[in-house]
Each structure stands twice: as C-alpha cells, then as structure tokens.
Amino acid sequence: MLSTQEALQAVLSAARPIRESESLNTLEANGRVLAEDIVSPLDVPPMSNSAVDGYAVRHADLHGAETVLPVSQRVPAGHQPEPLEPGTAARVFTGAPIPAGADTSIMQEQCEARGDEVVIRHQPQIGEWITRQGADIQAGSVILPAGTRLSPQALGLAASVGCARVPVTRRLRVAVFFTGDELVMPGEPLRPGSIYNSSRFTLRGLLENLGCALTDFGIVPDRLDTTRATLRQAAREHDLIITVGGVSVGEEDHIKPAVQAEGRLNLWQIALKPGKPLAFGEVDNGTTRPAYFMGLPGNPVSSLVTFLLFVRPFILRLQGVERVTPRRFAMRADFTQKKADRRNEFLRARLNEDGGLSLFANQSSAVLTSTVWGDGLIDNPPNHAIQAGENVQFIPFAELLY
C-alpha cells in the first residue's frame, strides 16, 4: 500500500489542468478560479486622500502648539478640490482628495472651528493622516495571479481596480454515483438491512463548495453490467467521475473490475485510516482526454476523509490552482491515545476552551457524528501513540471544506 503522501503525489502528478476559460461578471465569480493574471490599470487609491475627518494644510504654515488658519474650501469625498491657497486650511472628510499644495491632514478632534477659521492645537508630522496615491496598488502590478480561487475579498480587490468582468476557468464537469443495494434515500421506507444514503448529501455539498458542474446518476445497483454502463455514460461528457462504495474486494464490489474493463486503475489502497480502499484511474471515452476516475469507500467518514485529502486537491489542481494542500497547525493534544496504528490516521478532534484538542470518543469510520462534532482532523503518523501534552498536526475543516 502507498503512504498518504505517495498517493497524493501520484494523484496530483496525473492532473492535467483545464485550459478552457470564460469571462464572468465579477459579481458572479465567487469561488471560481482565475484563468489569467489580473493586472491593475490604475493606482489605488487613484489620488492622495485624507484618512480622517479634519483639515488639510501645508505643514510649513503650522507654527507651534496653536495655529489659526482661515478655511478656504470644503472638500467632501467624491469632489475635486481646488489647489490649497498658502496660509489656509481645507475642511476635508475621510476619503476626500487632498488639495494640491497640502501635505498634511489633521483630525478634527485636534482642531476647533471658529466661524470661517480653524484653530489647530496639534503639531503633526508632515504627511500625517494622508493616504498616498498608489499606497495599496500601483498601476501595472499583478494583483491576482492566474490560479487564484476568487474569495469575496479577492472579488473586492478586482473591483477596486475597475474589473467589471474576470477570466475564469470553466467549471469542472463531475459525475457522481453511489453503489450498494442497501442504500435508500431519505423519504423512502427503510427496509430491513437498508441504510440511508448520507454520503450523497455530503458529496454533493463538497462539490458545490468547489464550484463544480455536477451530474448525479444516483444509486446504481450492485451489478457489473450496470456499473460499466454508468461509467461509459458518465465518461462521455465529464472530466471526472466519482463513485462511493463498491471499492473493496467482496463479491458485490464491482467498481474495480468495471473500471479496469472500461479504462484503467492507477492506484488502489492506501495506508490510511479511515479510507484504505481508495481507487484512482481513468475511464475511456473515445477521446485523447479520458475521464478521470476516483472511487471512494462506502463508509461515510471514510468517503469524507478521502475526498478531503485526495479529491479536493485533485479538483483544485484540475481547475488550475497551484497551492492545493491544506495548512497544518501544531496544537496540544489534551488526550492520550495509547494504541498506535500501522496506518496514517486522521482523527476527528475539537478545539477546547483551554486552547488544546479534544478527541471524539468513537473514531469508527461509520460514525458521521464525529465530523459534525469536530473542528478538524489530526494527522497522526503511522505507528505513533499520542501522549497528552504533546503537539500534534491539526488540519481545521475550514482548510478542507472550501
């Protein structure tokens, strides 16, 4: 069996990023991936402006602890001022352009208005409370490189330089289906021996978070011919096929022989807990670009963990994102786990009020409650028993779910 890192490297090295792109209204591009650099056509701010409500002055006109100057103009934000007359002050407001000739802004709390004059009771540093033109962004600079996933703040940054539309990679087309004669959908009678298909809901939500165009083929019967037919249909118009269940070696597990008949398997089984039976390969579709295939285990926690560790970074790489591995944080374990496992364990844990991590009591791959209770996963190396007080590697779900 491959290690977690070996398997991830094998998956990522096989990814060929999508090259097709489209232009989107910036207001509609949240979560999409930039296909080209965004270069600023202007300085931000485009002019020097006041950072406070107050008075713009020439520093040379200030004398000692108290200076009285006539107010020659009033400059609200969004209005163009006249050049500042020597020996005068301009009433300015936050964000208002600084008049030509002024080099300092003084907050109104340090001044006293007297009719048409202002008394300044502060000796500022030259340039105080002025945000200079281009202080944030300079014209010609790359503000968002290709491969950036557009977050709400990134959309705001693009808008700040006047981008009404942005070039983004087209949506990844993903097909999903679920195998298992025991699966039924919520709302249907729960027959003896049946279980509700929780993974369908989890997987769809994860793919929606990643901005994929999703086709759900539903629950496929545990038959080799049906599984092969569904793979062929899904491969025709999709970049990636994801299945849940049927990846073990039982007589009713048909994913492996079906994929081998319709394409090829490049990876099978990882030294991982939960989630050992992860499959990765390709399904032929009559083109030079077969559909990628990833088969996830049927247990709900196993399918979630393997998606987060392998499918998510693979999808991001296909979308053109470079940094696809989540950040890990060294945190204190406030528990002891005496039994070490030979596989790389990913334990569901929660941040506690003492700044450490608490462990969910039942780490079974069937206990989906642990993923809602927890705040993330502890990446525990093979053959390592955890002692209370030691630092462990923690991956928050916030790094994994989007």
Q: Is 170 exposed, middle or buried (0-12, 13-18, 19+ CB in 10 A)?
A: middle
Alpha-carbon distance of 159 to 65, in angstroms, equals 43
Domains and CATH numbers, the chain: 4-19+170-318 (3.40.980.10), 21-41+140-169 (3.90.105.10), 49-131 (2.170.190.11), 329-399 (2.40.340.10)
pLDDT score, position 156: 97
- At residue 240, the 3 state secondary structure works out as strand
Dig out the tokens for 366 from the structure.
């069937």
Dig out the tokens for 294 from the structure.
């990833």
pLDDT tens digits, 260-302: 999 999 988 899 999 888 899 999 999 999 999 999 999 999 9
Is the separation of the CB atoms in 144 and 154 below 8 Å?
Answer: yes
Dig out the tokens for 328 from the structure.
């890990």
Which DSSP string corresponds to 342-356? SSEEEEEEEE-TTSS
pLDDT score, position 251: 54
As a whole number, the mean pLDDT across the chain is: 95
Residues of the chain where predicted confidence (pLDDT) is lower than 70: 248-252
pLDDT tens digits, 197-237: 999 999 999 999 999 999 999 999 989 999 999 999 999 99
pLDDT score, position 65: 82
